Amino acid sequence: MPQNRNISVPPKTMTWAKASPIIAVAGIFDLLRMFFEMFWFFGPALAAAYCTSSVNSVVGTTIAATAGKIVATGCVAVAGVTGAALSETTTVLGVVMAMAVGLLGWLTVGLIIVMSNSRIFKEEAGHAMWFALSLLISEVPFIGALPGLTGMTWKMYHTQIKKDKENLKKYEKQLAEMNEQEVIENVVY
């Protein structure tokens, strides 16, 4: 008789299909954080785009292409001057918002991971440290423009998927050996 009857249940495995939505959520928060980190640039650029579309919609679509270019040039000039004048304010606002979005993203992704896949922290002690490092990266001004949350989440899932594949191979090997042993025992008896 085989000695190991606990082998009937295959080990839990993580796949990229299960991990991808969580990595995508981390990526969205990283993109939002990058936007706010670079708000000193993107703020005036969005203001210019908004100004151009607003003026063109008020004037109407019947204006010639040349008039549209003049409106766009005027809006870009005004947004550039305003952006330069308000750069101290927009930089501080962007950094504060980036820190808030970084913390919110870290908490959200952490909660999703704990609720859907707590094994990632239980089976690999270093993953909690890596996840905490992603918070540190996201909270440091200007360094926070790096996609730390997405990178660390991807790294944790990569490690877990790799280990789960190894565990599944071991399970399949043990199962094959157990089945072979049962066949031999059935033939002998």
pLDDT at 62: 57
Chain centroid offset of residue 39 CA:
20
- pLDDT confidence of residue 112: 96
User: For residue 184, what is the enclosing H or E element?
Assistant: helix 148-188
Burial 82-103 (b: 16+ CB within 10 A, else e): bbeeeeeebbeebbebbbebbe
Q: What is the pLDDT of residue 64?
A: 57
Place of tokens 């005004």: 78
The pLDDT of residue 50: 81
Q: What is the spatial distance between Cα 146 and Cα 136, in angstroms, rounded to a whole number?
A: 11
> Is there a contact between 101 and 33 (Cβ–Cβ < 8 Å)?
yes
pLDDT value at residue 65? 61
Residue found by looking up tokens 């157990």 in the block = 178
Q: How far apart are CA 19 and CA 163, in angstroms?
A: 14
Which pLDDT score is estimated for 2? 45
Extents of the domains making up the chain: 14-188
Please give the Cα distance from 147 to 23 (Å, whole number).
11
Please give the average pLDDT of every successive group of 10 residues along the chain, which has 189 residues.
60 91 96 90 81 72 65 81 81 90 95 93 88 87 86 94 92 87 72
Residue type, 40: W
pLDDT tens profile 151-169: 999 999 999 999 999 999 9
| pLDDT in the model for residue 80 | 81
The pLDDT assigned to 75 comes to 81
Model pTM score: 0.78
